[in-house]
Structure 1
Amino acid sequence: MTSNPSIAGLELGGTKCVATLGSGPQDVRERHVIPTTDPVTTLAGLEKVLDGWAFDAIGIASFGPIELNPARPDFGAIVATTKPGWSGTDLTKRLAARYAKPLAIQTDVNGAALAEARWGAAAGLSTHAYITIGTGVGVGLVANGRPIMGYAHGEAGHMRSARAPGDSFAGWCPFHGDCAEGLLSGPALAARFGRPGQDVSDDAPEWDYFAHDLAALLHNLVVSLAPERIAIGGGVMTQRPALFPRVREKLAAMINGYGALAGYCAELETRVGPPGLGDMAGPLGAIAMGLEAIDR
């Protein structure tokens, strides 16, 4: 790999896409934001940016679900998704043909998790997680330094957990109702609160259900994978850092001193928190994928 490669990183999110030219946190040369609308308009806007750049590789970190098995004919495409109009959208073939550069793709959350390991708060860790809570809920899981991949990439953002007593909210997810995304995402909060989450004060009692549901998701991740660190980013928690203590308290109560996890819960201030890369974790996840494309 060249000492200072130029990576065209494309982070595709449910609300906006970020195109970044650079090679890491200390080398961000350009950054452009494109609204996520329909696939034709959005991808054309990203290609217009890339057409003006000279780069060595393309890295894509996208909302999903994405087909990540290279042996399948729809590799690199978004499969059935809650984002209207995006199911079946190809993200790789058209870009590979247009630019003839090495290309690598991952989910946005796996990309962010890899960026956190490369440059952020998960540096030196083997097993860790990155959660984004925004338009949707995504969970990136890394074990032994690589994203977990089975038949498909994981969808822990659609995990179901025990509900808080007295909570009758049906959930927002069109596939699963009251899964994590159906309870925690921005659209879910707007449906639950009757107004956007940003209009609800930090100390409002409505956030108790949110804290419970997020802690329940974390509980399931901790007892199944025991991540050394869990970074939580995305618009909802970025705007509400004051919720972290409430979530940690509920998580510790759910773990309830069980086994070796009692020690884990004594360290939640460092185990569960915002990404070390802040709101650049997502864009740098795309850069990390471009570096992997060159390495391969």
Structure 2
Amino acid sequence: MPLLGAIEAGGTKFVVAVADVNDPDTVIARKSFPTLDGPATINQVINFFDQFPDIAAIGIAAFGPIDINPQSHTYGYVLDTPKRGWSGYDFLGAMKAWRDIPYYWTTDVNGAGWSEYVSGAAKDVENVVYLTVGTGIGAGIIQHGQLLSGNSHPEAGHIMMRKHPKDQYAGHCPFHGDRCLEGLASGPAIEERWHESAKSLPDDHLAWEIEAEYLAQALVTYTTILRPDRIVFGGGVPHREILLPMVRESFAQQLADYLPVGQLDKYIVHVDHGDNAGVLGCFYLAKSLLVY
């Protein structure tokens, strides 16, 4: 029985899994473990997949930045990253050295976004922005059924922002400080600013007004440039139910009826697949490499 493999490669933990090629929505086996350095982590990945000799293809959705340009001499590598032991690591090359099968190599947000496009919150549209807001902020962008990439993958978490007038925070991003979306609105930015995690802040805290304004500002930018049919939110921060209604309200104010986007509770939505989004996306992308 041919199998599909999934590697959801996060900066904090790795999730590896297998599924039947004819039923990629059902996980047969799954394991997670903390992310160590490159060689040590990939050794654990290989130990897991060694149990399954019939794997036909593997989807890899990795934390970045990574090189996804097949014409580049560092294609398949993790590029400069603060994650210790990963900068310049040939992730894809290590997997190919283990077993030379087809691999779909992409970013973590592309993997999760693809699952929402195929069978989740965006399954009925063709143009999607999947935005994750957690330890970092990133976007998987799908246009006319294709993952968007240019010279490399988008870095939508590092667009420049206008600061909220009530916000005195210096910013979390080591590159842009308080000038980019990730520096102002990621989970660590919230915790550093308020000395409390997003999970524990009360609903009436000023934090949510500021967070909603920043996320809405970003969505206006994505909307005017990309004109998606739907924007899907994933990651830990949007788990707070107070947030998305406030984002929609701020988005409407900032867009100011400039473009038609339809009903906002259908345009700006929560992820459907939750914590399974990355693994499912890897299965779907791996299956797309196989020809029957």
Q: 1:26 to 1:69 in 2, by over 3 A?
A: closer
**For 1:164-210, what per-residue CA distance to the aligned partner results, in whole angstroms no more than 9, with x for missing partners?**
11322121111111211111222222211123222312332222111
Q: For 2:97 and 2:200, how far apart are their aligned partners in 1?
A: 45
Partner residue of 2:4?
Answer: 7
Q: What are the equivalent positions in structure 2 for 1:9-88 lying under 5 Å apart?
A: 9-22=6-19, 23=21, 26-54=25-53, 55-88=55-88
Q: Which runs of 5+ in 2 are unaligned?
A: none
TM-score normalised over the length of structure 1: 0.91
SS of 1:284's equivalent in the other structure is helix
Contact 1:14 1:135 in 2 (8 A): no
**For 1:63-108, what per-residue CA distance to the aligned partner results, in whole angstroms no more than 9, with x for missing partners?**
1111011111110111122434422122111101201211111111
1:274 aligns with 2:274: no
Contact 2:164 2:213 in 1 (8 A): yes
Q: For 1:248 and 1:84, how far apart are their aligned partners in 2?
A: 37
Q: AA paired with 2:193?
A: R
Contact 2:127 2:143 in 1 (8 A): yes
Contact 2:115 2:280 in 1 (8 A): yes
SS of 2:242's equivalent in the other structure is helix
SS of 1:293's equivalent in the other structure is coil
Q: 1:40 to 1:215 in 2, by over 3 A?
A: same
Partner residue of 1:139?
Answer: 139
2:282 corresponds to which of 276, 283, 286: 286
Q: 1:212 to 1:71 in 2, by over 3 A?
A: same
**For 1:222-263, what per-residue CA distance to the aligned partner results, in whole angstroms no more than 9, with x for missing partners?**
11111111111112213x1321101110111100111xx2x3
Q: AA paired with 1:129?
A: V
Q: AA paired with 2:29?
A: E
Partner residue of 1:102?
Answer: 102
Contact 1:132 1:232 in 2 (8 A): yes
- Structure number having the greater helix percentage: 1
SS of 1:130's equivalent in the other structure is strand
Q: 1:194 to 1:85 in 2, by over 3 A?
A: farther
Contact 2:138 2:156 in 1 (8 A): yes
Q: For 2:112 and 2:209, how far apart are their aligned partners in 1?
A: 27
Q: For 2:291 and 2:66, how far apart are their aligned partners in 1?
A: 22
SS of 2:31's equivalent in the other structure is strand
Q: For 2:93 and 2:174, how far apart are their aligned partners in 1?
A: 29
Q: 1:17 to 1:82 in 2, by over 3 A?
A: same
TM-score normalised over the length of structure 2: 0.92
Partner residue of 2:121?
Answer: 121
What is the RMSD computed on CA atoms of the aligned residues?
1.8
Q: For 2:122 and 2:157, how far apart are their aligned partners in 1?
A: 20
1:234 aligns with 2:231: no
Q: For 2:43 and 2:189, how far apart are their aligned partners in 1?
A: 30
Q: Which runs of 5+ in 1 are unaligned?
A: none
Could you list the structure 1 runs, at least 4 aligned residues long, displaced by more than 6 angstroms after superposition.
Answer: none
Q: C-alpha displacement at 1:5, in angstroms? A: 4.3
Q: C-alpha displacement at 1:8, in angstroms? A: 0.8
Q: For 1:29 and 1:216, how far apart are their aligned partners in 2?
A: 41
**For 1:249-284, what per-residue CA distance to the aligned partner results, in whole angstroms no more than 9, with x for missing partners?**
0111100111xx2x31x5110111111222211111
SS of 1:56's equivalent in the other structure is strand
Q: What are the equivalent positions in structure 2 for 1:179-218 lying under 5 Å apart?
A: 179-218=180-219
Q: For 1:248 and 1:219, how far apart are their aligned partners in 2?
A: 11
Contact 1:62 1:106 in 2 (8 A): yes
